[in-house]
Chain A
Amino acid sequence: EPEVTQTPSHQVTQMGQEVILRCVPISNHLYFYWYRQILGQKVEFLVSFYNNEISEKSEIFDDQFSVERPDGSNFTLKIRSTKLEDSAMYFCASIRGNSYNEQFFGPGTRLTVL
């Protein structure tokens, strides 16, 4: 069964460093998402992406964040200069089309900013 994959599973970085979180969505899916979950809190929508551009971004998704689909298979989330408060679990998700119902989630990347 096809699945969304994410790498790395755990990333530790120093404050101020850039990180890139990688996701490989399901191959025939067209809509892509990043969500974030700070430890012990709820999952929060960060950004949606369709047709090689951002469809919507939340207030959390400030200028330090960017997303890219560089090669038609990977979908990346870049944080330019990490802060302590960026420490969280980051989930990638994809959905086949706007008329489908279920978003498929990756296993997540745990980002720890020291």
Chain B
Amino acid sequence: SQQGEEDPQALSIQEGENATMNCSYKTSINNLQWYRQNSGRGLVHLILIRSNEREKHSGRLRVTLDTSKKSSSLLITASRAADTASYFCATDVLGAGNNRKLIWGLGTSLAVNP
């Protein structure tokens, strides 16, 4: 499996329900970030969780990180139709020359039905 694999690949829910997306990775990370992308548009940074953190909240978003299992989850509570988008996790890792880079997952396509 690849660094930063999300599941499910696609998720369809009703407005008001919670959406949970998972991400797994393989190497050591500095931090893990979640991004949102509306169809073919730019990347919107949602939340960053450092490797020494276990949980973080931002508005309706809750992110958890389990470094022992090399996995993270993104929970969106009380979803809205406007949350319809693709969600990517990206792991911040040390690359060559000790410089950092982001390794991205395949993404989860979320559809929130009104």
Contacts and interface: CB of A to CB of B under 8 A. Distances in A.
A18 interface: no
A44 B95 contact: no
A45 B105 CA distance: 11
B104 A56 contact: no
Nearest to B45: A102
Interface in A78-104: 89, 91, 93, 95, 98, 101-104
Contacts of A50: 97, 99
A48 B43 contact: no
B30 to A, nearest CB: 7
A31 B99 CA distance: 9
Contacts of B42: 91, 105-108
Contact of B95 (A48, A102, A106): A48
Interface stretch (A21-29, A35-43, A66-74): A35-43
Interface in A9-66: 31, 33, 35, 39, 41-45, 48, 50, 55-56
A101 B50 contact: yes
B76 interface: no
Given A48-B95, A56-B96, A42 B43 contact: no
B101 A48 contact: yes
A65 B102 CA distance: 19
A101 B31 CA distance: 7
A42 B102 contact: no
**6 closest Cβ pairs, A-B complex:** A56-B96, A43-B104, A55-B99, A107-B42, A56-B95, A55-B97
Interface of A: 31, 33, 35, 39, 41-45, 48, 50, 55-56, 89, 91, 93, 95, 98, 101-108, 110
30 contacts: A31-B99, A33-B102, A35-B102, A39-B40, A42-B88, A42-B104, A43-B90, A43-B102, A43-B104, A45-B101, A45-B104, A48-B99, A48-B101, A50-B99, A55-B95, A56-B97, A56-B101, A89-B40, A91-B42, A91-B43, A93-B102, A98-B99, A103-B102, A104-B45, A105-B43, A105-B45, A107-B41, A107-B42, A108-B42, A110-B40
